[in-house]
Structure 1
């Protein structure tokens, strides 16, 4: 009797394991990065719990399945089921989707207003989804627009004029436009390559959120940073291929769809905390906070206004809906 019961239980367990859906998640963040720890892993845990363990995940961080710039194609091809897609790294395929990276004039240092504005246009059915995510064969699960980017530098600077001629790492066309208007030399590269590039002198500095400085070990290299400026931002999205989405049971789809706004808001709130905490940590470590003079403000605002206008009009001329997307995002 006991043997029969054991065999029956074993069969049920095998059937249950066979029926469990396994999804591969890939991104480029180091394993200790706050997005990986607090958002990506949280998403996986919650989907597993809310589906009654019908879904399990295999997680491949730190570019284990491929470079950050290749994760859109790897998700489409099925190498990954869910992938981290940064529009700034795939600007040839998603030029409109970098709208969240524009250095628009803003009085808010928070990531949440821009994150939720982006969510509204890029979520399934939104205008940006229709223009770009869906045509690329993917569905956005959630997004984070990081707090406004700051200049993090190895060498001392005190005004915008000091930036002229400096080689500054950036990502995405909008921030590249802004740097060119400042007379700097923009160099495009994914964040995981930045530590080595700054150490070797390939770049003098970088535009990125302060919250990312310790994650990539840049607090050991860079000695100066701005705070409260807006040199643009960065859009991080996690997407699932439409092909894979259609294979999921409706109840699993509902759980994942219902979590999109929750995850986006959790992400931006976490980003704000990280930003504020890391500013204090960097100051305690002896990194110098640079306050740009008030005399730089008019020039900075003019650059911010012109970058958005130039970006939209440039896309309009290519037959893309640049102005439409910019207006929808604002």
Structure 2
């Protein structure tokens, strides 16, 4: 009887170990609020899911949902933590008002930056062990406190100012012009330029421009085909980045804990590799879209360096003032924006990017 009891205890312990261990095979729901033409879907979400399924020999598979079928823009975090989905591809942080206060940092204006540069800098920001506030790193402050795991996407190409009819030549040309802003940080930049910001997602911009609700917008030129904007945008100012939009490939903690250590390593490695591949595609499509616009629609792309001295100075000052305004407004809400901006500035300069005049001096104070 004693021997039988001991065997029963051992068997029960073994079963407990088996059922508590991470599963070897699983199917997860991966969801995007964006349409298939978007580069974060066709050139990121799908290639990522394909790569994981192949490299895991089918132990990890995905049921895929597109264009907000399961989770809408700005609802990705709720969907992850509620278990409605296990993977958000992407989680669009700027649309989660107040929940990711530091993640807009890549939207600060810069010069000479590319998608791969920003992608590498942002992933390094996520990996950084530098404490920003209350002993927390950027990742701990923005990500792990939300009950999720996350990786950088391939950053969009540089955001540019584009208009449908009005040509912006001198500082006064911005006055009162309604331009679409995709985030709070873009709103600051447009206010500094003197225009009237109109906040809306990219998916609403085509209709708004067609109806004349907005005259133009701030968006990556390589993102025009995602929203058919090449049909309405005609004039763009380039060679100044109104930031790069970054967000996250994100998974719930519950899903992450279902993976074995080997599967977690595969996931991490694949996420980093696909992000950089995606970044290259964002960057290479800029010239493709520009060339098609010039050839088919008479589009014009004017370098900031070819504008009048007054106009160049006006944009330069607005870019620098945007850093100051974002930092001070975010700090006023209790978040470590200065430390974050300073760390990101160091990372993006190490990649070869340049800050607007006066920003380095401001950050050094």
TM-score, normalised to structure 2, is 0.80
Alignment match of 1:95 (pick from 92, 101, 126): 101
Q: Is contact 2:48-2:271 (8 Å) kept? A: no
Q: TM-score, normalised by structure 1?
A: 0.88
Native 8 Å contact 1:96 1:132 kept in 2: yes
CA distance in structure 1 between the aligned counterparts of 2:28 and 2:174, rounded to whole angstroms: 45
Distance of 1:34 and 1:129 partners within structure 2: 25
Offset of residue 36 of structure 1: 1.4
After superposition, residues 1-330 of structure 1 pair within 5 angstroms as 20-83=25-88, 84-104=90-110, 106-108=111-113, 110-123=114-127, 127-159=137-169, 160-291=171-302, 292=304, 293-295=307-309, 296-330=311-345
Shift of 1:19: 6.7
Distance 1:179 1:281 in 2: 27
Give SS of 1:312's match: helix
Spell out, residue by residue over 1:272-308, the C-alpha distance to the aligned partner (whole angstroms, 9 max, x if none): 1111211111111124214251412222222212211
Deviation digits for residues 223-260 of structure 1, max 9, x if unmatched? 22232222222113211112221122222111101223
Q: String of CA shifts for 1:74-106, please: whole Å, max 9, x gaps.
A: 1221111111112221131111111011113x2
Instruction: Indicate the structure (1 or 2) with the bigger Cα radius of gyration.
Output: 2
Unaligned stretches of 5+ residues in structure 2: 1-22, 131-136, 346-365
Give the secondary-structure state (helix, strand or coil) at the position aligned to 2:230: helix
Deviation at 1:179, TM superposition (A): 0.1
Alignment CA distance shift 1:81-1:125 (3 Å): farther
Unaligned runs of 5+ residues in structure 1 are: 1-17
After TM superposition, give the deviation of residue 122 of structure 1 in Å: 2.0
Give the aligned CA root-mean-square deviation in angstroms.
1.9
Distance 2:244 2:229 in 1: 18
**Cα deviation 1:135-165 (Å, max 9, x = unaligned):** 1222113322212111222212132432221
2: CA distance between counterparts of 1:125 and 1:263?
Answer: 23
Show structure 1 runs of 4+ deviating over 6 A: none
Corresponding residue SS for 2:75: helix
Shift of 1:33: 2.3
Q: 3-state SS of the aligned residue for 1:28?
A: coil
CA contact (8 A) 1:103 1:174 kept: no
- Whether the 8 Å CA contact 1:141–1:239 is kept in 2: the answer is yes
